[in-house]
Structure 1
């Protein structure tokens, strides 16, 4: 007799998801294979999700909602599941980011996480994590990007060092798609991308990347990362100093239109001139199968959770 792992639904969002999926399947009198035929995936994959051995994708969650007519229950729960896969030290920031009305960020090494393509994110993650963990972290990062799909999304202002455009993360094709993604925000009213050119010389961002979050009713937040930890504070003096520093970075950076022109030029000259269409303000579509995201490509770039 095969032993089936019994989940504690109070242990984590992932175990609660698996527990509810199994409970509804058994209540419907369906085997794993029968449910698999309904939602177009293998019974083995369903079994892995039901035992919390695999993190489900959004496609999988939506398929369960359709199969069991649960009115979006699994789709809503998935956000908690994916958020729980983020490193513990990063989760407090992710919670605050999801509530922010205005997000300002300066990035000196990589594209900010809210604007990354899955392939670019996977290449970053693959430096420090095994393939199965990479899939989970990329899915969690794509879930973060859903705040850009809201009816009233946060205003996002991104200043990227020019080096970010030249650092080849994941290979030429990955960079081609990533820069195309950045160009897709050219006419987005909620997302503004500026490039800080090398010709700016010494500037106020030389200490490293940082984020500023502004809220409707709560104090502003300053956030930065070191190699193995994060620093987040609402200290008014820090906010004041970093806000002034960010304003100077914006002043030193190219205007939004000139920044887009530079991105397009680097895209054409360094990575080829093909531009795949990406909908402005929208994260790339997930895979059509109810599985997890594609395996990562390796890169020598530092990953982190930015």
Structure 2
């Protein structure tokens, strides 16, 4: 007679998004985990009553809070109210409901845009709240900072173990490839791919192309999320921030947007020209994360940008 093994019940909020789906793929490899998911039609995370009822009716041990309204410069600049409202509501509802129903372990996913526009590079965790934010995504950044502080506050007041990870620019399968509302990697892949198909001689790209960015494949991000959720408290003691605030997730490598566009152009096989529209905003001139703390705990990224672009373009064409 075999004894029943209790599984860890893990709720992944935002499981259909790029990061959430990557977390689910990795959790599925662990037979000791029972994954709990709900679609937006089944559970509206901006609705406090629905979220409270869901947590009350479903025993949960851990939460990965990957649900968020996300987008690139254009989307952030065009829909600021949606970005701050929806993200504030989702994180407030989920974090409080988790606490009210005795969930001890939660991982909140933020963004590198929480750091000041002129933060010293590479950006360390203790740069948070030391200067003005980048104007084009300030509402989104404020919402993510609020999520960090929610986790800190529940840890401080109630002894919860709610952790926050701040990823650099992510890309990968499951990304949003909308021409205007997506992040730079999927937007460039689609734009250059369609230019090749239409035999267009030129592809227009926002900004000067000189702005520098760091890019991390979403599967590396998912592995970092599981690593941070499962590691002991000792590595977090290395943080000098109040309440052991948050941990950066990046790979330490940066590329100009022009270099990125040329990598994608080579992968797509597009022979036309790239034209940079300097009348459009660049955003922050440079965004490089200092991920020494996370790397010191034993996590390492595994997917380089060239291999990552190849795999994502293949996925995009197949879709």
What TM-score, normalized to structure 1?
Answer: 0.26
Q: Which has the higher contact order (CA 8 A, sep 6+)?
A: 1
Q: By percentage of residues, which structure has more strand?
A: 2
Greater Rg, structure 1 or structure 2? 1
What TM-score, normalized to structure 2?
Answer: 0.25
